[in-house]
Structure 1
Amino acid sequence: MNLNRALVALTISVLSGSLSAQESPTTPKALQVRIIQGPKIELAMEHLTIINWTTNNPGGSPVHYGIVHYGRDPKSLTETAKSPIRLNPDHASTVFRVRLDNLEPQTTYYYTVDSMEATGKSDGVKSSVNHFTTP
């Protein structure tokens, strides 16, 4: 019984260490993250849209999130969608793809894109306000 508890404690310790956001020794943090392509609409349907954009590889924690802030008013982007991605240390750039769900048909939405490390720290890049209209 004590052995089982020790194994459970060890498993939890190992998992919590591997799940926490750590610096990847193979992906140095970029001095400045820039959007080098996009953002653009990859797919637009009545109730969902996928937005993608490319940045130089931000480095830092291996897991990052693409973030889209959006809404019907360009001055009030109150909705947020995000999608995780694992950085490839061998690539000079990273393509982020974020799906926006439960959209209203024939409606114009405004949005900006951003990315952040798994820790929640922004990569410091944010697009201008763009827009799309659902079919």
Structure 2
Amino acid sequence: MSRAFAILAISILSGNLFAQVSPTTPEASQVRIIEGPRIELVKEYLTIISWTTNNPGGSPVHFGVVHYGADPNRLIETAKSPIRLNPDHPSTIFRVRLDNLKPQTTYYYTVDSIQASGKSDGVKSSVNHFTTP
């Protein structure tokens, strides 16, 4: 078996030859939060925050972003988590994990989402808060 044939066979069997990248979908005219944000989990050192938006469209990869801090006027920490949009779904659920928190501390936060390019979807929540145990 020739080397080229072996590489082709491995590519086909592994799915690499036919792997597709989701195309960019039309951006929503207005992205809005339709549910949340809400605290899914709060522990001494970590918290998970989730929220749902209408499907923002644009690049297939987006990031849920949480800006947070112990002072509501200085949300200087940032956590983000990637998600791949499903263009056939009318909404997108973002979930972001905040790590290395201090116990018995009140944190303030806002949520946002961005495209892979760093372009904001133009949606930002009001300032919310939670307290670690």
* Larger helix proportion of the pair: 1
SS of aligned partner of 1:112: strand
Corresponding position of 1:97: 95
Corresponding position of 2:52: 54
Question: Hey, what's the Cα distance between the residues in 1 that align with 2:89 and 2:29?
Answer: 16
Corresponding position of 2:125: 127
Query: What TM-score comes out, normalization by structure 2 length?
Result: 0.83
AA aligned to 2:59 is S
TM superposition shift of 1:23:
8.3
Question: Hey, what's the Cα distance between the residues in 2 that align with 1:127 and 1:45?
Answer: 22
Question: Hey, what's the Cα distance between the residues in 1 that align with 2:22 and 2:123?
Answer: 19
Question: Hey, what's the Cα distance between the residues in 2 that align with 1:116 and 1:23?
Answer: 17
Q: Tell me if structure 2 keeps the 8 A contact 1:116–1:123.
A: yes
RMSD between aligned residues: 2.1
Question: Which contiguous aligned blocks of 4+ residues in structure 1 show a shift greater than 2 angstroms?
Answer: 22-25
Query: What TM-score comes out, normalization by structure 1 length?
Result: 0.82
Give deviations 1:13-61, integer Å, cap 9, x for gaps: xxxxxxxxx9835x32100000000000000001000000000000000
Corresponding position of 1:77: 75
Q: State the structure with more CA Rg.
A: 2
Q: How many correspondences in the alignment? A: 118
AA aligned to 2:97 is R
SS of aligned partner of 1:51: strand
Corresponding position of 2:11: none
Identity of matched residues, %: 79
